[in-house]
Amino acid sequence: MDAIPIPQPGTTFLSYAATRAPATTSRQGDSLTVRQAGAAPLTLRLAEGRLTEGRLALTGPAGSGDAALRGLNAAIESAFAWHPELERLALDLGDGAGALAASLRRRGIAVETADAPLTVLPELFMQQAELWHGRPDLPAFPQRQVMTDGKRHPQRPPKPQGTVYARYIPWLEQTIAFRAATVEDDLGHLHKWMNDPRVAAFWNEDGDLEKHRRYLSGLIADPHMVPLIATFDGTPFAYFEIYWARENRLAPFYDVQDYDRGWHVVVGEDSYRGRSFISAWLPSLTHYMLLDDCRTQRIVGEPAAAHHQQIRNLETSGFVRIKTFDFPHKRAALVMLLRERFFFDRLWLPAATAPQPVASR
């Protein structure tokens, strides 16, 4: 893996970026200070041990309740972001933090290991939806099998609205966010990007404004599709479609599972193409789909089989090419990424090479 730029001491890291009350962590030497609205600052010391291990110790009162948990989560996220080589982080909460320690264990944020009674593993921590998901308070939608166009599948939850995911990207020092697309706000973006010749070559959806109005309106109404607009620091740069594979045209071509998800993507703005940006948006998109429902174990895709560069890019990002097959409209490659691999191999971090897809469908 390429070296990941680490912000210098004194810079600030943003956590809970999808909420209206984000927390900020500032670093000065080995001292961290977490600030969040309505709570006293939380102070900690980050000590590096062996190459892949660290220790995070409270140096002041932990506070109580949700504020204490949020503050500690923010410190943990920033510690792993500033030190991506860490494979575990031992917590020292001192005396009187039994309730906080119990909450950490109950949520799977910390587990007991031979090295420390409270150890944070990044592959567990990055599955804590509340740090990045727009609505982490919603439980997994209860399962009920229904039929749609001859396909039996779980009933899907109501379509999301507003921001669904946000994460601060330290190597860019920008926040990436995904929000549910609307005709009122996003038709112009879609129309512009679909008429870009580089995008049209893959999507074949160039056309007039009314065509794109019908296209976007149809996707918003489709229960198995979620159209998203991606932004960096509030600037729209890409359009994503995520779908439940069971109801999708892809389903007949492989052994689909109920909660498999797939995606299509258009990076519409030239200034946001390239290695540093794809290393942020592609893993973040995968991360969102895996957080959105804990039952999702696989992310799938079906790029054109002849698009060798894109397939190499996806393989760099952890996807495996399963097979080649024929859609009615194209010869495609089935690619797949397992939940276990994404989290255990820490694929939310930048990949070793420079994948640069423009559009995928």
pLDDT digits 0-9 by tens, 72-94: 999 999 999 999 999 999 999 98
pLDDT of residue 60: 92
Q: pTM to 2 decimals? A: 0.93
Question: Cα separation of 100 and 110, whole Å?
Answer: 11
Are the C-beta atoms of residues 346 and 330 closer than 8 Å to each other? no
Kindly list the distances between the CA atom of residue 63 and the CA atoms of 60, 76, 84, 101, in Å, as whole numbers in the listed order. 9, 16, 28, 12
pLDDT of residue 356: 44
Locate 149 and state its tokens.
């166009």
Q: Is the pLDDT of residue 245 over 80?
A: yes
AA identity, residue 142: P
Are the C-beta atoms of residues 333 and 324 closer than 8 Å to each other? yes
Are the C-beta atoms of residues 182 and 213 closer than 8 Å to each other? no
Phi and psi at 347, nearest 5°, equal -80, 5
Question: Cα separation of 135 and 98, whole Å?
Answer: 28
Question: Cα separation of 59 and 271, whole Å?
Answer: 43
Locate 257 and state its tokens.
């599972």
More confident site: 3 or 285: 285
pLDDT of residue 357: 47
pLDDT of residue 95: 82
For 305, other C-beta atoms within 10 Å of its C-beta total 18
pLDDT digits 0-9 by tens, 300-330: 999 888 888 788 888 988 999 999 999 888 8
Q: Find where tokens 């594979």 sit.
A: 245
Q: Average pLDDT of 204-216?
A: 96
Q: Find where tokens 């973040």 sit.
A: 284
Question: Cα separation of 4 and 10, whole Å?
Answer: 18
pLDDT digits 0-9 by tens, 127-173: 999 999 999 999 999 999 999 988 999 999 999 999 999 999 998 99
pLDDT digits 0-9 by tens, 106-125: 999 999 998 899 999 999 99
- State yes or no: is 77 an active-site residue: no
Q: Is the pLDDT of residue 206 over 70?
A: yes
State the catalytic residue, choosing from 87, 112, 302, 315.
302
Kindly list the distances between the CA atom of residue 258 and the CA atoms of 57, 201, 221, in Å, as whole numbers in the listed order. 42, 32, 20
Question: Is residue 21 exposed (0-12), middle (13-18) or buried (19+ Cβ within 10 Å)?
Answer: exposed
pLDDT band at 6 (very low <50, low <70, confident <90, very high): very low
Are the C-beta atoms of residues 250 and 244 closer than 8 Å to each other? no
Question: Cα separation of 164 and 326, whole Å?
Answer: 33
pLDDT digits 0-9 by tens, 37-70: 989 999 999 997 677 899 999 999 988 889 999 9
Are the C-beta atoms of residues 297 and 289 closer than 8 Å to each other? no
